[in-house]
Amino acid sequence: MRLAEVGFFLFMVDCILCNNYIFSRFLGNCPFLGVSSKVETSIGMGLAVTFVMGLASAFTWVAYTYLLEPYDLKYLDTIAFIFIIAALVQFVEMFMKKSLPALYNALGIYLPLITTNCAVLGVALLNIKSSYGLIESVLSGVFGALGFLLAIVMMAGVRERLETSDIPKPFRGFSISLVIAGMMAVAFMGFTGLVK
Amino acid sequence: MLDILNALLVMGGLGIVFGVILSFADKVFAVPVDEKVALIRDNLAGANCGACGYPGCDGFAEAVAKGEAPITGCPPGGSKTVQALAEIMGVSATASEPKVARVLCQGANEIAGIRYEYSGVESCAAAVAFAGGPKLCQYSCVGLGDCVNVCKFDALTIENDLAVIDDKKCTACGMCVNVCPRHVIELVPRSATVAVRCRSSAKAREARAACTHACIGCKRCEKACAFDAIHVADGFATIDQEKCTQCEECIKVCPNNCITVS
C-alpha cells in the first residue's frame, strides 16, 4: 500500500481499519488488555502509543536508511530498533513526568510497557518491509497507532459496561475480555479488502 | 572483520548517543522529589498490596511525606515501619494498638427476615440500590460480598448471607469498612472483644420484627454498665472502647443477644 497510489485518505483507512494493529495484525495485545478497564486511562495510553509510534517510525527509518543500510548492517534491524524504541520511551517518560504529571500518574507502570509493546516494534519493521519513505513511515506509524487507540477505547467502553453486567462465573475477568476481543477482531475482518 | 567492526561501531555509537541524550534529559526534566519519599518508600513493607488505599507503596510514601496519610497507614509493615516513619517524619510514634475489622451485624439467614428473593448483580451496593436490599432490616449486612471482593488478604467470607471476618488474616487495612454500603464493618482494637453487633436505627418494634438479634435501644446495657462505656444513640447502643473493660455485664442483660464476645 503506497501513499502515492491510493492517496492520503485511503492510506489512513487502510492503516486504521483494514490493517488494524490489534484486530488484524494481533500486535500490542498486552496494553490492549491491560489498560482497557477505564475509558479515560485507555485514551491516555492510546495517545502515548500514538506519540511513541509516530516518533519511533521516524527515528527507526532514519537509523535504517542512514546507518544500517550504508554499512550493510540490515540484519541488525530488530536489535537496533528495540534499542531506539527503548531510549525513546525513556525520554518520553521523563518528559511526561515533568510536563504532564497527571497523564504520567494515570499511565503508571504501563508507560514503560510501551517499550515492549510489539506494535511499536512491529510498525518499525513493517515500514522497512514495505520499503516506505520517511513520510509514509511516520504516517503509517501515527495512523496505525490511531487504530490502536480506536481499538483500546472501544474495548474500554465495553469493559466499563461489563462491570455491572451479570456474567457467568467461568467467563468473568480476562476470559470475557478475550472473547470480546475475538469478536471485535471478527467484526474488523469485514474491512479486509476495502482498500486495494 | 570489517563487518564486525562496523556493527560494533554503529551499535556502540547509537548507545553512546542515546546515553548522552538521556543523561541530559534526566537533568533537564528532573522533577524535584522530596527525599523523604524515597526514605519512606524504603521503610515500607513493599508488597504493593493497596491496604493503605493508595495506588501502591509509592503513592502511600508520597502521601505520608505530604502529611496526608498517617504513619500508621501501612498494616503489613507493622510497628517497625511505624517507628521508622515516625523518625523520618519527626513525629512521635504513638504505640498504636493493632486493630481488627468487625462486622456489626448478626443478620444471617433465619435470624434476619427476608423481604424478597434477590437474583441481580452479585454486589451489595447494587442490591441496596434496588429497593433497599433483600433483607427486612434496612441497616443489616446485605451478604453479597462487596467486602469479600475488596479484601486483599482473604480475611472475609460470606456465611449464611453474613460477612464473617477471620481475625487471624485481617490486617485492619479498612478496605471493607470503606466499601460496605451499610457501614456495618468497623475497625476496633484487637483487645476490644465485646461489641454491639447491630446498627439498626429502626424503631424497637420494627427492628425486632426484622431481626431476632436486633438492638432495640432499650438501654438495659446502659444501666448495667458500671463504667459509663455503653450508650444508646440513634436507636442502637455503641461501646466507648476507651472506657470498656470487657466485663461483659451488658451481654447478660441484653434481651436480644445483640452484644457478643469474639
Reading chain B (262 residues) residue by residue, the pLDDT tens digits are 788 898 899 889 989 999 999 999 888 888 777 778 888 888 887 777 666 767 778 888 888 888 888 887 787 777 778 888 888 887 776 656 778 889 999 988 888 888 888 888 888 988 888 878 888 888 999 989 899 988 877 889 999 889 999 988 888 878 888 889 999 998 888 888 888 999 988 888 888 888 888 999 888 898 888 888 898 988 889 998 888 888 888 898 998 888 888 7
Phi-psi region of B230 (alpha: psi -120 to 50; beta: other; left: phi over 0): beta
Q: Residues with Cβ < 8 Å from A92, sequence gap 6 or more?
A: A48, A51, A52, A55, A111, A114
A79 interfacial to chain B (CB closer than 8 Å): yes
CA B205, B207, B209, B213 dihedral sign is negative
User: What's the topology of domain B97-189?
Assistant: Alpha-Beta Plaits (3.30.70)
Chain B residues with CB under 8 Å of A98 CB are: 29-31
Question: Is there a contact between A53 and A142 (Cβ–Cβ < 8 Å)?
Answer: yes
Cβ atoms within 10 Å of B41's Cβ, excluding its own: 17
Model confidence at A77: pLDDT above 80 = yes
A78 interfacial to chain B (CB closer than 8 Å): no
B78 interfacial to chain A (CB closer than 8 Å): no
pTM of the model: 0.56
Q: Name the closest residue on chain B to residue A71, using Cα atoms.
A: B6
Q: What is the DSSP letter of A191?
A: G
A144 pLDDT band, cuts 50/70/90, is: very high
Nearest to A151 by CA among A22, A14, A13: A22
B20 interfacial to chain A (CB closer than 8 Å): no
Are B10 and A98 within 8 A, CB to CB?
Answer: no
The residue extents of the domains of chain B are 35-89, 97-189, 192-262
pLDDT given for residue B117 in this prediction: 85
Q: Do domains B97-189 and B192-262 have the same CATH topology?
A: yes
Are B29 and A95 within 8 A, CB to CB?
Answer: yes
- Alpha-carbon distance A72 to nearest alpha carbon in chain B (angstroms): 8
Please name every residue paired with B231 in a beta bridge, in sequence order, or none if there are none: B238
Question: Is there a contact between A15 and A6 (Cβ–Cβ < 8 Å)?
Answer: no
Chain B residues with CB under 8 Å of A94 CB are: 22, 25-26, 29
Residue with cell 451488658: B250
Please name every residue paired with B239 in a beta bridge, in sequence order, or none if there are none: B230
pLDDT given for residue B185 in this prediction: 92
Are A63 and B14 within 8 A, CB to CB?
Answer: yes
A167 interfacial to chain B (CB closer than 8 Å): no
User: For the domain B192-262, what is the CATH code?
Assistant: 3.30.70.20
pLDDT given for residue B207 in this prediction: 87
Dihedral of CA atoms A127, A132, A138, A142 in degrees, nearest 10, equals -60
Select the residue of A67, A83, A98 nearest B29 (Cβ to Cβ): A98
pLDDT given for residue B66 in this prediction: 81
> Residue B140 and residue B133: Cα distance in Å, rounded?
9
A71 interfacial to chain B (CB closer than 8 Å): yes
Chain B, 183 to 212: residues with Cβ < 8 Å from chain A are: none
Residue with cell 428473593: B117
Q: Residues with Cβ < 8 Å from B189, sequence gap 6 or more?
A: B97, B98, B99, B100, B241
Query: CATH top-level class for B35-89?
Result: mainly alpha
- Alpha-carbon distance B100 to nearest alpha carbon in chain A (angstroms): 30
